[in-house]
Structure 1
Amino acid sequence: MGKLILITGVSKGLGYAMTEGFIKQGHTVIGCARSKEAIEKIKNSFSAPNDFTTVDVADEQQVEKWAVEVLSKYEPPDILINNAAIINHPAPLWEIPSEEFSKLIDINIKGVVNIIRHFVPAMVQKQQGIIVKFSSEWGRSTSAEVAPYCASKWAIEGLTQSLAQELPVGMAAIPLNPGIIHTDMLTISLGESAASYTPVSQWTLKAVPFILKLKPKDNGIPLTIPG
């Protein structure tokens, strides 16, 4: 039986790849992204019952409106994937403008919490569902010139493991490191060398079945998608 999977940040990169992968396997995807143009293209590629909406996860009012609409039409998601994130342009921490730092925190941390606040209560009421928050290699280690991104992903690790202790039996919250994949975000931080890492198409072949197999017993455990 197909699962209902909610994914944020579906316009490109891992979000788009997962959307395509899950739909190919017969599951239904409810997704959002900030770009209205990208959402229109996705709607043309993946028809109903898949459902896509322009939402900025950093804007709680937009998230709340989207949650009301989704939960009025569908059951609570079987799997909720907090994927939407941005990375800072590489620089020493003291050189990163406050506006850039704030935007990253608003999307990478507050955006995740906004999604949790407005979707997870319905999942808790059913005592069912897997909540995946994408972490990073830089959520468990650090590098120079990506301090804001590291801070946000270390926060996701702690936030998720704390949330895991609050969920009822039958649910799970999992900080999931997707691995190092050749995406636009990786190119921002590594430049041309990003191309030497795993292509998104190859990553999807392992990531989609891995996520589908997550169970309540995985609650609170930091996991990594196999390379």
Structure 2
Amino acid sequence: MQLLKTILITGAGTGLGKELALAYAQEGNRIILVGRTQAHLDEVRQMIDKTNGSARSVVCDITDTNQVKQVLAHLNETEKIDQVINNAGIGYFGPLQNIPADQISQMIDTNVKGTIYVSQAILPTFLERNAGKIMNIISTAGLRGKVHETAYCASKFAIRGFTEALVKELENTSITVSGVYMGGMDTPFWDENHFITDRSRLKSAKDVALEILEREHEIELIIS
């Protein structure tokens, strides 16, 4: 299998991150699986290995800027990363007055700071090569306010602003930055809360991953 690109995906152990990893690997890309749980990452890596794909699992807490810098510095010594997909995210829902401060902090730390830290850490390498892609998985919660999603929407609106600003900051380079605004999916994201009780109406993570991949191909065709 001919390798096309080396793609780093955060939150790659479960849900959409896992399905994105499998979909991109199927096309011959080398995948760097990043997440907090080694067992989940290794499971995905083994699935890719079984299809003769190429993958590597790396444990990293993206909310820790020093850890992100160390991990990316090490990876840059051994890998030529072509694309980063900032997929890792967490959500807590309910009336604003009922959301504990620690849950608000977790959403801001993971969804906002984590995305910024990873992008910031890879950017010097991309700028040096004047090439690279950053894709931020944002959610429709970054497009409009939703009942009982106040803090979650705040975190996603923040990443929308970050993405749009980074597009402008890099508009005179060959680095591309994009945001993906997908709706709810049937993933382990919902396992720890009861915000959505009927998950049968949600799209599968695999279907969404394939939609993202197809859309990226369409954009590449237009650019070329």
TM-score, normalised with respect to structure 2: 0.88
1:80 CA displacement? 1.1
* Corresponding letter in the other structure for 1:95: N
> Is residue 121 of structure 2 the alignment partner of residue 126 of structure 1?
no
> Is residue 179 of structure 2 the alignment partner of residue 175 of structure 1?
yes
Q: In 1, distance between residues paired with 2:204 and 2:44?
A: 21
Percent identity, aligned pairs only, is 24
* Corresponding letter in the other structure for 1:181: M
Q: In 1, distance between residues paired with 2:206 and 2:94?
A: 30
- Give the equivalent residue in structure 2 for 1:86: 90
Q: In 2, distance between residues paired with 1:158 and 1:189?
A: 29
Q: In 2, distance between residues paired with 1:69 and 1:214?
A: 31
Pick from 119, 124, 144: which aligns with 2:147?
A: 144
Report the 3-state secondary structure (helix = DSSP H, G, I; strand = E; otherwise coil) of the residue aligned with 2:85: strand
> Is residue 165 of structure 2 the alignment partner of residue 162 of structure 1?
yes
- Give the equivalent residue in structure 1 for 2:32: 30
Instruction: From the superposition, tell whether residues 189 and 156 of structure 1 become closer, same or farther in structure 2 (CA, over 3 Å).
Output: farther
* Corresponding letter in the other structure for 2:47: S
CA root-mean-square deviation: 2.1
> Is residue 147 of structure 2 the alignment partner of residue 135 of structure 1?
no
User: Contact between 1:132 and 1:173, CA under 8 Å: does it hold in 2?
Assistant: yes
1:199 CA displacement? 1.6
Pick from 49, 55, 59: which aligns with 1:50?
A: 55
1:8 CA displacement? 0.4
Unaligned runs of 5+ in 1: 219-227
Pick from 193, 199, 211: which aligns with 1:194?
A: 199
Q: In 2, distance between residues paired with 1:148 and 1:57?
A: 19
Unaligned runs of 5+ in 2: none
Which is further off, 183-192 or 151-160? 183-192
- Give the equivalent residue in structure 2 for 1:184: 188
Instruction: From the superposition, tell whether residues 186 and 102 of structure 1 become closer, same or farther in structure 2 (CA, over 3 Å).
Output: same
Post-superposition CA distance 1:93-141 (Å, at most 9, x none): 1221111110110000010111012111101111111211111111001
Q: In 2, distance between residues paired with 1:97 and 1:206?
A: 35
